[in-house]
Structure 1
Amino acid sequence: MTAPESSVSSEAAEAAAFVSPVDKPIGVAVLGMGNVGSEVVRILLDHATDLTARVGAPLVLRGVAVRDIGKDRGIDPDLLTTDVRALVARDDVDLVVEVLGGIEPARELILAALNAGKSVVTANKALLAEYTGELADAAESHRADLYFEAAVAGAIPVVRPLMQSLAGDRVNRVIGIVNGTTNFILSAMDETGADYADTLAEAGRLGYAEADPTADVEGFDAAAKAAILASLAFHTRVTSADVHREGISSITAADIATARAFDCTVKLLALCERVSDDDGNDRISVRVYPSLVPLSHPLASVSGAFNAVVVEAEAAGRLMFYGQGAGGAPTASAVMGDLVMAARNKFYGGRGPGESTYAKLPVAPMGDTPTRYHVNMQVADRAGVLSAVAAEFAKNDVSISTVRQEGASKHARLVVVTHRAKDSALAATVDALKELDIVTAVTSVLRLEGTSE
């Protein structure tokens, strides 16, 4: 019995449409071949067989964009090009890996890829902290993936858990050490007793600090990562401009010693949390600053150039992600994880989850954010000093947790730790203390995080 013509035609069409994995490779373009890009290229070439098995189709490196095509990079020179725009536009490129850094031309290139329906994997935290909305809109419009696990905390998987694993939970707080340079410096100051300038110089000699360390030590790098984490955790678009930022350049050896006396250490923290306004409505606070952290808190033991992020969710409770936060190989690991996911989606015709901004929570001003202060001051050693100081805290409705006084000479040192209060009230108290004639100097003011008070 002969099959109906329509049935035969349908089966023939299906057979013609089927392409085996070997015949349907997925083309990859890598933009940039620095520390991270070089590792990505190496993994693509050295582990091609394993990657094919994981994806379902071969990942074929179509080209690598570099500034200097004449430099020996240990790969087929025919893969190298300086024409980055032409590489992105090639018809045989399905996925683009952007590891150039900076805003432009990275933004233009990523948009060009997404607008052409090509999925993008990027490690560019500075770009994402400013233009995630624009890039996410382009990805959504053209049904492409935009993955960026490597943009926050290197090899540590924190972006995907926030986007996927915790998608059904309510995240209340994300707190982390997300910059290896500053953590190395503060850890070394704590361990050796050296001052900031000497430790920064040592970090530079060991390769932990850039020649211009401003982005790290002044908190810009951490602020960009905090913006990304807050956007994911609270389903709200947050940019670097929304992040209150302070760096570590004013931290002294005396601050570290005082922290030790209170069973604390000093860490540069990125903090993203839900806070309530006076009417009980949800807002979010996003901030980066050096803070005292109790030694009992899990972040206190994170030393050297390592990173760690603690996520607090209603159902899941407290989760901690820890590991290498920077470096070519660790960051390339995160890039490759994203690349495999994007390639699988391409091969099977699916798409990963996109941006979620349904909550649209307002960002609270720093002044409205509840926190705790650790105030270190020099005072006259005479009767009535403590009551006068306490009166200034009371005027601003700030409750004192502990007071410590040292010295019995002409000038004594007074350390006051507060309970939680609005940052504006605490700042006003410090300003008032500076005006008292019994206060010779307010030598340092640090916030205290990681406590329940």
Structure 2
Amino acid sequence: MSSLNVGVLGFGTVGSGVVRILDEHKSKISQITGYDIKVTKVLVRDLTKTRRYEDVDVAVTDNANDVIGDPSISIIVEVMGTIDIAYDYVLKSLRAGKHVVTANKDLIALHGDHLITVARENNCDLFYEASVAGGIPILRTIVNGLASDHLKKVMGIVNGTTNFMLTKMTSEGLSYETALKQAQELGFAESDPTNDVDGIDAARKMVILTRLSFGMNVSLDDVSTTGIRQLTVDEIKLADQLGYTIKLLGIAEEHNGAVDVCVTPTLLPKTHPLSGVHNENNAVFVLGEAAGETMYYGPGAGELPTASSVVSDIITVAKNTKLGTNGNAFSSYVHETNKLADKDCLAKYFVRLKMTDETGTFLKMTQRFTEQKIGFSRILQLPESNEQATVVIITHETSRENLHLALETLKNESGIVVNSHYRVED
């Protein structure tokens, strides 16, 4: 049987998982691909460090050129987790005629369009299934399984750290700070959690999902992003009283040939499938004209789930090599990129206000919303001390533009303070 050699850039959690799966599932993979696929070289930072799977026959080096420049290696797996250095290595690999598999969502979100062009120019494959939702094969499902459908909306829990934190805040009443500390202690959150809690990580994944779902080359700047840093346990309890669960969702939806992409805390009915996704798990909910509603659920990170997606991409490269069909992009679907205007972005909203509990204040609040043609489906008023009251509103469907106009006018009203507003999905 012919051999197909793999070089791995990075020997951390995912890199070691790739080596393990290729070694332990060798017989099955050989039957599927017709190749004896094995990792022959791995790039590491520290040659003296003790590593798992050292008994596997793999050469270790701290020089990237030893891997990229090795003519016997056909496939490069990039699992380093950086951006600039990884970009340089992936470019060099593609220009050297090597196929690339990466789990690096930051790299693909920021530089994917250029890397795809370089891959095509050099007749190379470039796959990145593991860059979104870890072990869930969502990208290939969208590209292949739902290829015949016209997708209308893709939304999901695509960041395990924030989902773990929100699960703890919801089920145990933990504060944001306590939930974050617990996530850090368990290794779900970094010492600097900014990318997770501010929604940046989720936004980068939504860039990738949007490109594959709608063929539109959106950038990170096109994604309206709000994280969970300001979300309070009180707001979670208020949502619960109204029959909702709060999740940090990435949402991409198409309307009349234009797309809107956002990452935002979102209220979901407790009966919604995404409401039941707990802890560090991920899930992606897809709405298509033909298939209707489908959801894909599983671990969003971890050694073997993510490595499994990486190895699946390696298998696809091997199959393409056997058939002589290398050089095709992950998806060939391209649509003119149009961004949906705020006046056309329709949704329901949860609005939390603090108001002076006196005659006329409630009337002023309703007038400001009425001026923007915003109606209410639910109102919850909770009296507090010092003649103050918390008022929570669930609006009828309205445009993002009208909501922002109403909230801006409320800021000028005495006795009314807008605490927060979040999207509501039914």
When the two structures are superposed, what TM-score results if normalisation uses the length of structure 1? 0.89
Residue 26 (structure 2) aligns with: 48
Residue 279 (structure 2) aligns with: 304
8 Å CA contact 1:28, 1:62 repeated in 2: yes
Residue 369 (structure 2) aligns with: 393
Aligned ranges 1:247-262 → 2 under 5 Å: 247-262=227-242
8 Å CA contact 2:40, 2:58 repeated in 1: no
**Following TM superposition, by how much is the alpha carbon of 1:417 offset from its aligned partner in structure 2, in angstroms?**
1.3
**Following TM superposition, by how much is the alpha carbon of 1:357 offset from its aligned partner in structure 2, in angstroms?**
4.8
Aligned ranges 1:173-212 → 2 under 5 Å: 173-212=153-192
What residue identity is the alignment partner of 1:297?
H
Q: Write the distance in 2 (CA, Å) between the matches of 1:326 and 1:66.
A: 21
**Following TM superposition, by how much is the alpha carbon of 1:109 offset from its aligned partner in structure 2, in angstroms?**
1.5
Residue 402 (structure 1) aligns with: 378
**Following TM superposition, by how much is the alpha carbon of 1:78 offset from its aligned partner in structure 2, in angstroms?**
6.1
Residue 90 (structure 1) aligns with: 70
Q: Any idea what SS the aligned residue of 1:102 has?
A: coil
Q: Any idea what SS the aligned residue of 1:345 has?
A: helix
**Following TM superposition, by how much is the alpha carbon of 1:92 offset from its aligned partner in structure 2, in angstroms?**
0.5
Among 425, 430, 433, which residue is 2:410 paired with?
433
What residue identity is the alignment partner of 2:312?
G
8 Å CA contact 1:136, 1:355 repeated in 2: no
Q: Write the distance in 2 (CA, Å) between the matches of 1:421 and 1:342.
A: 46
Aligned ranges 1:193-342 → 2 under 5 Å: 193-275=173-255, 281-342=256-317
**Following TM superposition, by how much is the alpha carbon of 1:354 offset from its aligned partner in structure 2, in angstroms?**
3.7
**Following TM superposition, by how much is the alpha carbon of 1:365 offset from its aligned partner in structure 2, in angstroms?**
5.0
Single out whichever of 78-87 and 244-253 deviates more from structure 2: 78-87
Q: Any idea what SS the aligned residue of 2:423 has?
A: strand
Among 17, 36, 42, which residue is 1:58 paired with?
36
Among 378, 382, 389, which residue is 1:412 paired with?
389
Residue 85 (structure 2) aligns with: 105
Q: Write the distance in 2 (CA, Å) between the matches of 1:389 and 1:62.
A: 67
**Following TM superposition, by how much is the alpha carbon of 1:156 offset from its aligned partner in structure 2, in angstroms?**
0.5
8 Å CA contact 1:228, 1:239 repeated in 2: no
Q: Any idea what SS the aligned residue of 1:372 has?
A: strand
Residue 105 (structure 2) aligns with: 125
Single out whichever of 65-74 and 242-251 deviates more from structure 2: 65-74
Answer yes or no: is 1:159 the counterpart of 2:139.
yes
Q: Any idea what SS the aligned residue of 1:207 has?
A: coil
Q: Write the distance in 1 (CA, Å) between the matches of 2:258 and 2:73.
A: 42
Residue 6 (structure 1) aligns with: none
The alpha-carbon distance between structure 1 residues 406 and 28, as it changes in their structure 2 partners (threshold 3 A), is same
If you compute each CA radius of gyration, which structure gives the higher value, 1 or 2? 1
Q: Write the distance in 2 (CA, Å) between the matches of 1:317 and 1:143.
A: 36
Residue 383 (structure 1) aligns with: 359
What residue identity is the alignment partner of 2:6?
V
Q: Any idea what SS the aligned residue of 1:390 has?
A: helix
Q: Write the distance in 2 (CA, Å) between the matches of 1:354 and 1:156.
A: 16
Q: Any idea what SS the aligned residue of 2:334 has?
A: coil
**Following TM superposition, by how much is the alpha carbon of 1:147 offset from its aligned partner in structure 2, in angstroms?**
0.9
Q: Write the distance in 1 (CA, Å) between the matches of 2:394 and 2:279.
A: 27
**Following TM superposition, by how much is the alpha carbon of 1:434 offset from its aligned partner in structure 2, in angstroms?**
2.3
Q: Any idea what SS the aligned residue of 1:25 has?
A: strand
What residue identity is the alignment partner of 2:353?
M
Q: Write the distance in 2 (CA, Å) between the matches of 1:189 and 1:273.
A: 28
Answer yes or no: is 1:343 the counterpart of 2:323.
no
Single out whichever of 365-374 and 391-400 deviates more from structure 2: 365-374
What residue identity is the alignment partner of 2:378?
T
**Following TM superposition, by how much is the alpha carbon of 1:202 offset from its aligned partner in structure 2, in angstroms?**
1.2
Deviations 1:229-277 (A, max 9, x none): 00000011122222111110000011111110111011000000013xx
8 Å CA contact 2:203, 2:223 repeated in 1: yes
Residue 398 (structure 2) aligns with: 421
Q: Any idea what SS the aligned residue of 2:358 has?
A: coil
Residue 446 (structure 1) aligns with: 422
Let me know the Cα RMSD of the aligned residues: 1.7
Q: Write the distance in 1 (CA, Å) between the matches of 2:172 and 2:205.
A: 29
Q: Write the distance in 2 (CA, Å) between the matches of 1:203 and 1:354.
A: 34
**Following TM superposition, by how much is the alpha carbon of 1:383 offset from its aligned partner in structure 2, in angstroms?**
2.6
8 Å CA contact 1:236, 1:356 repeated in 2: no
Q: Any idea what SS the aligned residue of 2:420 has?
A: strand
The alpha-carbon distance between structure 1 residues 220 and 40, as it changes in their structure 2 partners (threshold 3 A), is same
Runs of 4+ in 1 over 6 A off after TM superposition: none
Residue 124 (structure 2) aligns with: 144
Q: Any idea what SS the aligned residue of 2:339 has?
A: coil
**Following TM superposition, by how much is the alpha carbon of 1:348 offset from its aligned partner in structure 2, in angstroms?**
2.8
Q: Write the distance in 2 (CA, Å) between the matches of 1:438 and 1:69.
A: 64
Deviations 1:348-385 (A, max 9, x none): 32235544352123123556522222111121222333
What residue identity is the alignment partner of 1:305?
E
**Following TM superposition, by how much is the alpha carbon of 1:43 offset from its aligned partner in structure 2, in angstroms?**
1.7
Q: Write the distance in 1 (CA, Å) between the matches of 2:94 and 2:120.
A: 9
Residue 45 (structure 2) aligns with: 67
* Unmatched runs of 5 consecutive residues or more in structure 1: 1-21, 276-280
Single out whichever of 187-196 and 383-392 deviates more from structure 2: 383-392
**Following TM superposition, by how much is the alpha carbon of 1:405 offset from its aligned partner in structure 2, in angstroms?**
1.5
What residue identity is the alignment partner of 1:240?
L
What residue identity is the alignment partner of 2:155?
I
8 Å CA contact 2:218, 2:337 repeated in 1: no
**Following TM superposition, by how much is the alpha carbon of 1:319 offset from its aligned partner in structure 2, in angstroms?**
0.9
What residue identity is the alignment partner of 2:311?
M
Single out whichever of 146-155 and 380-389 deviates more from structure 2: 380-389
Q: Write the distance in 1 (CA, Å) between the matches of 2:167 and 2:313.
A: 31
Q: Any idea what SS the aligned residue of 1:110 has?
A: helix
Residue 278 (structure 1) aligns with: none
When the two structures are superposed, what TM-score results if normalisation uses the length of structure 2? 0.95
Residue 115 (structure 2) aligns with: 135
